[in-house]
Copies of this chain bind each other. A is one copy, B any other.
Amino acid sequence: MGIVTASLSISVDGYVGSADEGQWWPVHERLHQWVFDLRSWRARQGMDGGVDSVSSQIVEDEFANAGAYVMGRDMFDFGEEPWGDDPPFRAPVFVVTHRERETLRRQGGTTFTFVTDGVAAAIERARASAGDRDVRLSGGASVVRQAIAAGLLDELNLHQTPVLLGAGVRLWDDIGPQWREMEPTRAVAGDGVTHLTYRFTRDA
């Protein structure tokens, strides 16, 4: 059986985005700058070429291992138009939202199913769809935080971008006051990014 994993681009000071509308786009671009030119990333967007590197392999593996995705509504709203008819997921995606909506079926195997009863329910449905593969939380911060706080996350992939932003949306707010022990399973220097993987120790 697969695990529940999350992947986030994050600044060294722990920010995964900006809460300031005028800064939102430049912060997003800076945090994800490492990914845009990778061959594996471009291939998922239907583009040729790009850089082959350890980072490209890591991104390829993340996509390949994911049997289903969970994401927040803000991320879906942001992506719906640019992802177009052939989104990069090619697997079932469960969107955590308060708005009911019919399931969307796209080319390449991507479906968007809207789940109105919370993160835990979305993860449960994704597990049922993922078969032997992993459930991957794509963000935003709120979905990942809730999964950590509820003890539902098995693994955390932090793609650490070498910048201090000094302000923004912190991943590490409201994850609960109890200590959570982890095991470091990967520390890899990429090109303009450091890939850090942690496994949560099951204490429940």
Interface of A toward B, CB cutoff 8 Å: 12-14, 30, 148, 158, 160, 162-167, 171-172, 175-184, 186-189, 192-194, 196, 198
Is A187's CB under 8 angstroms from B184's CB?
no
How many monomers of this protein are in the complex? 2
Q: Cβ of B187 and Cβ of A194 under 8 Å apart? A: yes
- B162–A198 touching, CB < 8 Å: yes
Q: With A187-B194, A194-B187, A196-B194 as known contacts, state yes or no: A175 contacts B182, CB within 8 Å.
A: no
In Å, the complex CA distance between A183 and B12 comes to 11
Known contacts A162-B182, A162-B198; decide if A189 and B187 are in contact (CB<8 Å). yes
> Among B166, B167, B172, which residue has its beta carbon within 8 angstroms of that of A14?
B172
Among the listed B163, B167, B184, which residue makes an inter-chain contact with A181, where contact means beta carbons less than 8 Å apart?
B163
- Residues from chain B with a CB closer than 8 A to the CB of A177 are 166-167
